[in-house]
Amino acid sequence: MQGVIRTVLVIHKADHEKARGMAWTVAEWLAARGVVALVRENSPEAPTVAHPPGAVLTTPPQLALILGGDGTMLSAARQGAADGVPFLGINLGRVGFMTSAGLDDWAQVLGDILQNGFEEARRIMVEVTVIRGHETVYATTALNDAVISRGAMARLAAFDVTLGDVDVCTLRADGVVISTPTGSTAYCVSAGGPLIYPGLDVLCVVPICPFLSDFKPVVVPAESPVRLSLSAPETNMYLTCDGQELFPLDDNDVVVVRKSERCLRLAMRPGDSYFGRLRLKGFINRP
C-alpha cells in the first residue's frame, strides 16, 4: 500500500480529442482534491503541463494514469514514459484488459485509491533483438509479445528453435509468438497458447499453424533466452513487437527474446482479481 498521493502523471492517447478532453477533466478533479496533475500526450516529444498552473511539486509522480486502451498502456510502457511509476489505466477503447477503470467509474476508482492507497504488481518486459551476421540490426522492448509472421506470400517459414542453451528443433510454421504472461491474453491465446497467471516469471513460445510438427506451446523460465533462427529462403517474414513496431527480416536472421531489466509497475485496488477480470472481459464464463 502507498502513502498520501500528492502528484499524479496523466498520460492520454495521442491525437485523440476525447482522451485529451478526459485528461483535463481528470486533472481538474485531482486539483479539487489537492493533487497536482502533470498532463502530457502519449508521445516522446510531448511537453508536460502542470495543473493547477503554477503548482509547486512537492513529490515526483506517485501514480501514472493512462487514458486510452490497452494499446496506449503498451505504448506508454514501451516508451518508458513513466518508468518506475505505477500505472493505472482508464479505458477509452474496447477490451481494455489491462485497464482498471472506465468512463463510468473512474472517479469512484480514483477516489478510492486516493483515500485508501493501492497495491502494486509488477509485470515482466522483454528485450527483443535481431542479429544479422554478427551485427545487431534492431533492438526494442516489449510488454506483451514478439511475433514473427509471414508477409503477403503464403509460404511456410522454418525456424531453428533454441530455448536457453538447448537446441530444441527446426519448426516449420506460418510464424511464432513469444509472449510474456501479460501478453498471454492477446495473440498468444488466439494462436492456441495458454492463459498465464500474470505474476509468473516465464515466457511462452507458441507456433502459428505449424506444419507436420508436434511442437506444442511451451512455457519456459524468463531467464532463459528464446532464439529463433530463420533458415528457409525467401519467406518474406516480419517481426512485430506489441503490435506496434514492424521490422522486416532477412534469411538467416536470428531473433533473440530475453527478459528485460525494465518492468511495468501496475497500481491495483485491493481485492482486484485476475480471474474476475478474465470473466469481466469474456475470456472465461461465469460459473
In a domain, 41, yes or no: yes
70 is catalytic: yes
pLDDT at 242: 96
User: What is the extent of the structural domain holding 11?
Assistant: 7-118+269-280
pLDDT tier, 279 (very low <50, low <70, confident <90, very high otherwise) = confident
Backbone conformation region of residue 89, classed left if phi is above 0, alpha if psi is from -120 to 50, else beta: beta
**pLDDT tens-digit map of 53-71:** 888 888 899 999 999 988 9
**pLDDT tens-digit map of 204-248:** 999 998 888 888 999 999 999 999 999 876 668 999 999 999 999
Q: Are residues 257 and 273 in the same domain?
A: no
pLDDT at 256: 98
**SS3 readout for 130-164:** EEECCEEEEEEEECCEEEEEECCCCCCEEEEEEEC
In a domain, 174, yes or no: yes
In a domain, 286, yes or no: no
For 24, the 3-state DSSP assignment is helix
Round to whole Å and give the CA distance between 34 and 6: 7
User: What percent of the chain shows pLDDT beyond 70?
Assistant: 96
The sign of the torsion formed by the CA atoms of 32, 36, 40, 42 equals: negative
pLDDT at 137: 98
Active-site residue, selected from the candidate residues 70, 145, 174, 253: 70
Q: Are residues 159 and 74 in the same domain?
A: no
In a domain, 285, yes or no: no
> Does residue 287 or residue 56 have the better pLDDT?
56
pLDDT tier, 284 (very low <50, low <70, confident <90, very high otherwise) = confident
Round to whole Å and give the CA distance between 175 and 124: 23
Number of domains in the chain: 2
Beta partners for 206? 177
Structure-derived torsion over alpha carbons of residues 159, 162, 167, 170, reported in degrees to the nearest 10: -10
In a domain, 98, yes or no: yes
Name residue 231's amino acid: S
If you average pLDDT over every residue of the chain, what do you get? 90
Cell numbers representing residue 143 in the block:
510488454
pLDDT at 150: 83
> Does residue 15 or residue 236 have the better pLDDT?
15
Q: Are residues 113 and 154 in the same domain?
A: no
At 187, phi and psi to the nearest 5? -60, -35
Round to whole Å and give the CA distance between 155 and 86: 43
Cell numbers representing residue 58 in the block:
512537492
Edge-to-edge strand ranges of the sheet holding 202-208? 218-221, 202-208, 175-179, 145-150, 237-241, 245-248
At 45, phi and psi to the nearest 5? -95, 0
Record the pTM. Answer: 0.90
In a domain, 2, yes or no: no
The sign of the torsion formed by the CA atoms of 26, 24, 263, 185 equals: positive
Picking from 55, 3, 52, the residue whose alpha carbon sits closest to that of residue 29 is 52
pLDDT tier, 161 (very low <50, low <70, confident <90, very high otherwise) = very high
Q: Are residues 191 and 143 in the same domain?
A: yes
In a domain, 1, yes or no: no
Question: With 0-12 CB in 10 A as exposed, 13-18 as middle and 19+ as buried, what is 257?
Answer: buried
Residues whose CB is less than 8 angstroms from the CB of residue 43 and which lie 6 or more positions away in sequence, other chains included: 14
Q: Are residues 114 and 162 in the same domain?
A: no
Picking from 112, 69, 63, the residue whose alpha carbon sits closest to that of residue 88 is 63
Q: Are residues 165 and 225 in the same domain?
A: yes
Round to whole Å and give the CA distance between 107 and 113: 10
* CATH number, residue 139: 2.60.200.30
Cα 136 to Cα 139, 157, 250, 260, distances in angstroms: 7, 21, 13, 17
Cell numbers representing residue 201 in the block:
516469471
